[in-house]
Structure 1
Amino acid sequence: MLTLDKIYHASYVLKDVARKTDVLYAPKINPDANVYLKTENLQNTGSFKLRGAYYKISSLSDEEKAHGVIACSAGNHAQGVAFAATKNKISSVICLPDGAPISKVEATKGYGAQVVLVPGVYDDAYNKALELQKEKGYTFIHPFDDEDVIAGQGTIGLEILSQLPQTDAVVVPVGGGGLISGIAFAIKSLNPKIKVYGVQAEGAASMVESLKEEEIVQLERVNTIADGIKVKEPGNHTFDLCKKYVDEIVTVSDDEVAGAILSLIENQKLITEGAGAVSVAAVMFNKLPVKGKNVVCVLSGGNIDVTILSKVIERGLLKSGRSDTLVIQLEDKPGQLQGVSAIIAQYGANVTSVNYEKASEGSNITDCVLRINLETRNFDHILSVRQGLEQAGFKLI
């Protein structure tokens, strides 16, 4: 049974293993609220998952430890279990979806685990882990639906209350629900007035749907850049705890997540993965009633693959009006490009690439098409550049 005493005990067990991560003031996230960031992306192994995994493994009997442990994960729980098992001198096997970022796969191996890649998503990896558990006799470490794991994650709630006693609201990423269950239980047990909000990706809103239907719902498919919360079905314990202790769970789009990742890089000099940034996305894009409040966003992890990061930054630039593509129909004669360039320079935009194409069917035979990619300041800047070109007689298509 989950109790406050168990969470305090977890905090004691973790004191020499898990960092007490900083709570940083972040005024640029949303000017209408006092936003703080709980930086679990800077935790050992790069994610909060270490807390629950280590506390669970530390609670195992000698016989259970002797059998070794097995887990399934989209990546972060895998690293937490591998780290905790190696620290406790026991063997670990981790089942990961074959689409997990390469960086997470290699990091898991680096912490000493044997990795089994399973075709599909988290839930397929989960089923494979259960199969191997029965076959080999391993001890299974669930990523979220286990009260010891939830207690370990709940230590974050204790830290937030000690670091920022004037907290009005805490915003937490939600996949299977282990993180928010632990945090919500700890915070509501100590100060019921503090609001606890959850955030899921639109493409993986299993807890949102379950709470709406008032029963656990399994989604047919999940699709989001936030791979750490790409879960088809919440757990039994986590569903019950969210229903009882969480005030509201909202969703954010992948575009909003990309915008949040970009904002954290530029304004806070912090790298987060998609799952780690959903809490910030919800506050940035006003999905929650936090105006004038002291709100803590939990950055749950920072293990983003570099190749994915570059795509996310590109998408974030588009989402925030920091880049634009102009497609201009021109008469194919000397001096046209010079005229376009002069106007772009006049308005202070920066050209990053230019592509020239012969006009397509349906336009004049002497026409051409100019495709120009720009770096811009914001959407107002994009509008001024476009209006300047149109006023000069250029046709944007």
Structure 2
Amino acid sequence: MDQASADSVTLDLLREARETVRSSPLGVINTPMIPWCQTTLPPSASCRIQIKLENMQTTGSFKIRGVANQFARRQAGGHFVTMSAGNYGKSFAFASKHYGTKGKVVMPETAPESRSLLIQSFGVEVERVPTSCLMTVVNRCVQEDNMTFLHSYDDLDLIAGHASLGLEVLEVLPRPDVVVVCCGGGGLLAGVAAAIKLSGCDKSRIYGVEPEGACTMYRSLIENKPVGMDTKSVASGLAPPSAGRLPFELCRRYVEGIVLVSDGEIKAAVSTLYRAGLVVEPSGAAAFAAIVNNKIPDLEGRSVVCILSGGNMGKDELANFPD
């Protein structure tokens, strides 16, 4: 798995993963995609926007797609460890309970406490550490406790599972002009971009969106190698310590560019979506924030897809956002 490259990601592989995800006992759903004009969101007359409601997905985010494909390709009864700020950890814990496997999630201390408690409710152990120490603790678990590491964003099976979202988009809109996707470690962006480009949509432009304080993929594409940084953002799910190697390769090949949004813009986006009846967490609202703040170039008259990637937000988090 560590040797996987961008060339390993083929349309046949992604289609096979889509069938695995669709038939998964974890209950992954084909989430709705609705026209912006059919919501109560502020009008956006310059382009035709469709919103992919992945915040309505099983376990509340897109992460279950990749997890379904990962667990389908691993032996049952294993002892797995991962790192996550919340959404991947929730899906990982959900799958662990279903398959009867032992699991541990290493979480950054900045992640909301409510997410740790939720993951623990599935019977999975949680260890909270500084963000810079995540991989150190994961490596300790692998070496000392003989656990198997399931990567939360830099894994071929995971990315192939996430690509099912991109293939679903094409079932509704066969040739989108622009697709806007949040980006943390890059697993979702890489999967969606590969699915769309490998399906023959050569002219489609795929943009990733990162927080200004956690722009690892943005910096990686500038430096032409995966880089890490001391990340900090209200969108904790988009703030892993580094960009993934395989996601970087795929983004370099298939993504038009990465745009950055501020924490203030993300918070305002969460509030706007909430007023329209859509519960979307900060990490899931980044693509929306980029569109409403005119960060994506040349949208006038285009068909655009905005992915709302997650809706896991507890009452403790909602209280921190303006009305």
Give the alignment's TM-score, normalised by structure 1: 0.75
**Radius of gyration: which is bigger?**
1
Matches within 5 A, 1:227-306: 227-267=236-276, 269-289=277-297, 290-306=299-315
Q: In the alignment, which residue of structure 2 is the partner of 1:4?
A: 11
Q: 2:84 aligns with which of 73, 85, 94?
A: 73
Deviation at 1:43, TM superposition (A): 0.7
Deviation at 1:10, TM superposition (A): 1.6
Distance 1:55 1:265 in 2: 31
Distance 1:170 1:104 in 2: 29
Deviation at 1:110, TM superposition (A): 2.3
User: Sequence identity, in percent?
Assistant: 35
Q: In the alignment, which residue of structure 1 is the partner of 2:94?
A: 83
Matches within 5 A, 1:1-397: 1-16=8-23, 17-27=27-37, 28=42, 30-60=44-74, 62=75, 65-118=76-129, 120-121=130-131, 123-190=132-199, 191-219=201-229, 221-267=230-276, 269-289=277-297, 290-312=299-321, 314=322
The answer for unaligned runs of 5 or more in structure 2 is 1-7
Distance 1:154 1:9 in 2: 10
Deviation at 1:2, TM superposition (A): 2.0
Q: In the alignment, which residue of structure 2 is the partner of 1:386?
A: none
221-230 or 276-285: which moved more?
A: 221-230
Deviation at 1:193, TM superposition (A): 1.6
RMSD: 1.5
Q: Which amino acid aligns with 1:200?
A: E
Q: Which amino acid aligns with 1:198?
A: G
Give the 4+ runs in structure 1 shifted more than 6 A: none
Distance 1:6 1:232 in 2: 28
Higher RCO (C-alpha under 8 Å, 6+ residues apart): 2
Contact 2:77–2:101 under 8 Å retained in 1: yes
Contact 1:29–1:263 under 8 Å retained in 2: no
Q: Size of the alignment, in residue pairs?
A: 307
Deviation at 1:286, TM superposition (A): 0.5
Deviation at 1:307, TM superposition (A): 2.4
Deviation at 1:67, TM superposition (A): 3.3
The one-character-per-residue Cα deviations of 1:271-292 (angstroms, maximum 9, x if unpaired) are 1111100100000010012221
Deviation at 1:95, TM superposition (A): 1.1
Describe the SS at the equivalent of 1:66.
Answer: coil
Distance 1:53 1:2 in 2: 17
Contact 1:38–1:297 under 8 Å retained in 2: yes
Distance 2:168 2:83 in 1: 27
Q: In the alignment, which residue of structure 2 is the partner of 1:352?
A: none
Contact 1:53–1:141 under 8 Å retained in 2: no
Q: Which amino acid aligns with 1:280?
A: F
Q: In the alignment, which residue of structure 2 is the partner of 1:348?
A: none
